[in-house]
Structure 1
C-alpha cells in the first residue's frame, strides 16, 4: 500500500507543479498582451505598465480567455483602433508562445 500512496503523492505533486507553471505562463502572456495593446494605443511607459497589470487582473474575472479578449477589444475600440477578435486571438496565440519561451529560457 505504501508504494501506491507514494505514487499517488508523486502524481499530485506533479499536477500541482504543472498547474503553477501554466498559471505563470498565462500571467506572463497576459502581461505581454497588455504591452502589445498599450503600444497600439500609444500609451506612455508608466501607462503601459499599469495597463499590462490591468490585463493580468482581467483574466481573473472568469475561466478561459474570453475576459481578456473582451477587455482588449473594448479598450482598443475605445481608443479608436479598429481591430477584430481574430487579430486579438492571433496576438494571444503569439504571446502564449513567447511567454512559454521566456519561461523555459528563465528555467534553464
Structure 2
C-alpha cells in the first residue's frame, strides 16, 4: 500500500461523509420548510403539518435542484386560495437551510 492509496481512501471517505451531511441538511431543510408552509399558509397543525412536511421532503427526490419543492409549495398554497412569491419561497428555503445546517452540525 502506498501513500497515494492511503490518501485516495481518505479523500473518498471524506467525500462520502460530506455527501451524507449534505443529504441530512437538505432533508431537514425541506422538513422545516414544509412545516413553515403548513403552519403559516395552509393552516395545518400537528400530524397534518408533519405529513405535509414529509410530502415536501419526498417531492425533492423527483428531480435534481429545488424547483420541484418550490413548485409543490406554489401549487399547494395556490390551492389553499393564497399566494406566495418565488422570492419568499427562496427566502424561507435559505432560512430553513441555515437552521438545518446548525442543527445537523451540532449533532
TM category (shorter chain) comes to over 0.9
Q: Which residue pairs with 1:58 in the alignment?
A: 59
Structure 1 unaligned residues grouped into runs of 5+: none
| Residue 54 (structure 1) shift | 0.3
Alignment of 1:1-108 (within 5 A): 2-40=2-40, 41-106=42-107
Task: Output the TM-score relative to the length of structure 2.
Answer: 0.95
> Offset of 1:44 from its aligned partner?
2.5
C-alpha separation in 1, matches of 2:8 and 2:87 = 42
Count of paired positions: 106
Name the SS for the 2:106 alignment partner: helix
Q: Give the superposed CA RMSD.
A: 0.9
Which contiguous aligned blocks of 4+ residues in structure 1 show a shift greater than 6 angstroms? none
TM-score for both structures, normalised by structure 1? 0.95
Instruction: Give distance in 2, aligned partners of 1:105 and 1:17.
Output: 15
